[in-house]
Structure 1
Amino acid sequence: MIKTNPIIEFEQFLSLVKGLKEFKSKTGKRYKVISLDGSILSFLRETGEEWKLDLRKAHQAYLELQHFKTIDFKPYVPRRQSPALGLLLTVGLLKN
């Protein structure tokens, strides 16, 4: 995968996420956005379970990583790797 904006500032990244109602993982799992509180994105998994994602950590991963496999996100967003990758794909910051 290729970064489309490798030096994006956090505020610009946040503005891309603000309008989302849902996003998908790379494998097609849907996540429904509940709220955005500061830098914390709350969303529902397909199971109905609510999860939170620290967007500052997802942004940091985007800036620092060179490879974008789900496992690469683990040091940044443990247990939230797939949603983080899906979010970056949905907002257009990564392309195949």
Structure 2
Amino acid sequence: MLRLIEADLDRDLSLAVLADESGYSRSHFLRMFRSATGFTPHQYLVFRRIEKAKSLMKNSKATLVEIALDCGFSSHAHFTRVFQRTLNVAPSYFRRHL
């Protein structure tokens, strides 16, 4: 299941989609996932998207808008809010101070 999340960070990976892919009910999948990783599927997905965004900011010339969309965020504004809430720094500041 983690491979599905890793491969499809830009896809809509709701709890229902992930549970369906695993063949378990949503509640059972959520319990199993949290037990195995220590994160809810949503927390893990956000963490992996932020990690991918950080890597792209370090290793590519793509704009922040392109990075946001490539990492599965619905907009640049959404990406900025989540990035700042997660790392306590704006993506533009992070990129300038690599």
TM-score tier (shorter): 0.3 to 0.5
TM-score (structure 2 length as normaliser) = 0.33
TM-score (structure 1 length as normaliser) = 0.34
Between structures 1 and 2, the one with greater helix share: 2
Please identify the structure whose Cα radius of gyration is greater. Answer: 2
